[in-house]
Structure 1
Amino acid sequence: MSRIALIAGEGSLAPAIAAALDQPLVYALDNLKPQVEAKPFRLERLVPFLDELADQGVTQAVFAGAIRRPKIEPELFDARTLTIVPRILMGMQSGDDAALRAVLDVFEEAGISICSVDQILPELVPGEGVLSGEPSQRDQKDAARAAEIVAGLGALDIGQGAVVAQGLCLAVEALPGTQAMLEFAKLHAGLKPDPKGAGGVLYKAPKPGQDRRIDLPTIGPDTVTQAAEAGLAGIAWEAGSVILLDRAEALRRAQAAGLFLWARG
């Protein structure tokens, strides 16, 4: 019988995907603390892990949640995994997207196809439209500017988000993540030319050419709260390309804070 494996990362996406699947086999890198019960595995023993999946009848896998790079311990490599180490290390040196793509290639070569999150729960990835509030013309210009910046960052495999206020970039996303970016933007809110003008926009989108089966940008209720605390007017993202977790709660918080939520076409 064909089975699907859930490779769980941190955050609330993995539990949502697990609940939507029929008896998935759930695994996680042993340096992570997923919010779902998962059997740990190590990257240094990736090939034996793939053998285990094959023995369990797994033919598909879905990656869900945030993944932090594990600390590699060379003495733990088995002989077969050691043969693919150069490919994985080369990917890690090129950036997160390249590293993930290298791992996906290894899975597929083992006969395990990769499912995207929106194949399992399409409602998690909103199509074009304003979900809450209404972005002003200034907000729309800030979102357009932020989209240009994110496209430039993505081409260098740096991040998937930016904060723009009154045409000026206050912060960009890097390895520390979205919360750190918003805290930085809050710290430098005084740089806005007009203190009483537009509050600014958080914009998120995948990297150009990104493999969308894995590591799609994610927004959730906590993102809304953090954006409100940073004094922003709202959150915009590339329609059909960003995961919105717990939509009802995200909308509730956005409405309570007076923020707009916009899946931008």
Structure 2
Amino acid sequence: MTRTAVIAGQGALAPAVIAALEDPLVYALEGFAPDLPATPFRLERLVPFLDELIGQGVQKVVFAGAIRRPRLEPEAFDPRTAQLVPRILTAMQSGDDAALREVLDVFEEHGLEICGIEEIIPDLLPPAGVLTGTPSDLDRRDSAQAANILSGLGPFDIGQGVVVAQGLCLAIETLPGTGAMLEFAAAHAGLRPNPNGARGVFYKAPKPSQDRRVDLPTLGPDSVSQAASAGLAGIAWQAGGVILLDRKEAIRRADEAGLFLWAREDSDI
């Protein structure tokens, strides 16, 4: 029997993916276990883990949820996985995206197919359009500027989110994550040139060279609440490239706070 394995990370995405699949096997990288039953594995024993997947009849693998680069323990490597270390360390020098692609290559070399979220639950990636609210012309300009900033930052493998107000970049998402970025933007809202002008936009998009089968940016109701607390006008994101969890609740919170939610085409202004 063909089976699908879910590599579950933290957050609400993994439970949604697991619920959409029929009898998946659920695993989690040790140290990043989600709040659900999952069999742990270590990156230092990646090849034996892949052997286990194949032995269980797994042919497809889905990565769902947040993880960070683990600290590797050299003494924990088994001989076969140790042979992969030069490849992975070389990729790590180019950033997390390159390291992740190298790991995916290893999965595929063992005959495992990597499935993206859009293959499992396509409705989680909204197509182009305004879901609620009305972005003003100034909001649209700020969104276009934010998209340009993220595109320019792509080669540096920094983050997937940015806050722009009145054409100025207030904050960029880095390792601490979206919540920290929005808190920073709220603390520096006074830097906007016109206190009565455009309040600003939180924008998300995948990195230009990102493998879209894994690590797509994710938004949800908490993102809306955080953007509202930061005093922003709304949230925009690249249409078809960002996961929106619990859409109904996200829209409800946006309506309550007076924010717009907009899946934006790259060509939009």
The bucket for the TM-score relative to the shorter chain is over 0.9
Aligned to 2:243: 243
Aligned to 1:86: 86
Q: How does 1:60-209 map to 2 (within 5 A)?
A: 60-209=60-209
Shift of 1:43: 0.2
Q: Which amino acid aligns with 2:163?
A: V
Residues 129-138 or 83-92, more deviating: 83-92
**Residues of 2 paired with 1:95 and 1:174: CA distance?**
13
Residues 66-75 or 91-100, more deviating: 91-100
Q: Note the alpha carbon deviations across 1:56-106, whole angstroms, 9 max, x for none.
A: 000110000111111111100000000001111222221111111011000
**Residues of 2 paired with 1:216 and 1:96: CA distance?**
13
Residues 54-63 or 27-36, more deviating: 27-36
Residues 81-90 or 131-140, more deviating: 81-90
**Residues of 2 paired with 1:172 and 1:260: CA distance?**
20
SS of corresponding position for 1:94? coil
Q: Note the alpha carbon deviations across 1:127-153, whole angstroms, 9 max, x for none.
A: 000001000000000000000001111
Structure 2 residues without counterparts, runs of 5 or longer: none
Structure 1 residues without counterparts, runs of 5 or longer: none
Shift of 1:189: 0.5
Q: Which amino acid aligns with 2:213?
A: R
| Contact in 2 for aligned 1:12/1:35 (Cα 8 Å) | no
| Contact in 1 for aligned 2:232/2:259 (Cα 8 Å) | yes
Q: Note the alpha carbon deviations across 1:203-255, whole angstroms, 9 max, x for none.
A: 01011121100000100000000000000000000000000001011000000
SS of corresponding position for 1:195? coil
**Residues of 2 paired with 1:28 and 1:154: CA distance?**
28
| Contact in 2 for aligned 1:61/1:112 (Cα 8 Å) | yes
| Contact in 2 for aligned 1:153/1:160 (Cα 8 Å) | no
**Residues of 1 paired with 2:221 and 2:91: CA distance?**
32
Shift of 1:163: 0.3
Q: Which amino acid aligns with 1:99?
A: A
**Residues of 2 paired with 1:163 and 1:55: CA distance?**
46
Aligned to 1:53: 53
The TM-score with structure 1 as length reference comes to: 0.99
Identity of aligned residues (%): 69
**Residues of 2 paired with 1:69 and 1:39: CA distance?**
19
Q: Which runs of 4 or more aligned residues in structure 1 lie more than 2 Å from their structure 2 counterparts after TM superposition?
A: none
SS of corresponding position for 2:227? helix
Shift of 1:33: 2.7
Aligned to 1:231: 231
The TM-score with structure 2 as length reference comes to: 0.97
Equivalent pairs counted in the alignment come to 265
Shift of 1:12: 0.2
Aligned to 1:222: 222
Q: Which amino acid aligns with 1:64?
A: A
| Contact in 2 for aligned 1:14/1:35 (Cα 8 Å) | no
| Contact in 2 for aligned 1:27/1:40 (Cα 8 Å) | yes
**Residues of 2 paired with 1:103 and 1:151: CA distance?**
24
**Residues of 2 paired with 1:107 and 1:140: CA distance?**
41
**Residues of 1 paired with 2:68 and 2:252: CA distance?**
30
**Residues of 2 paired with 1:198 and 1:107: CA distance?**
47
Does residue 15 (structure 1) correspond to residue 15 (structure 2)? The answer is yes
SS of corresponding position for 2:15? helix
**Residues of 2 paired with 1:97 and 1:170: CA distance?**
25
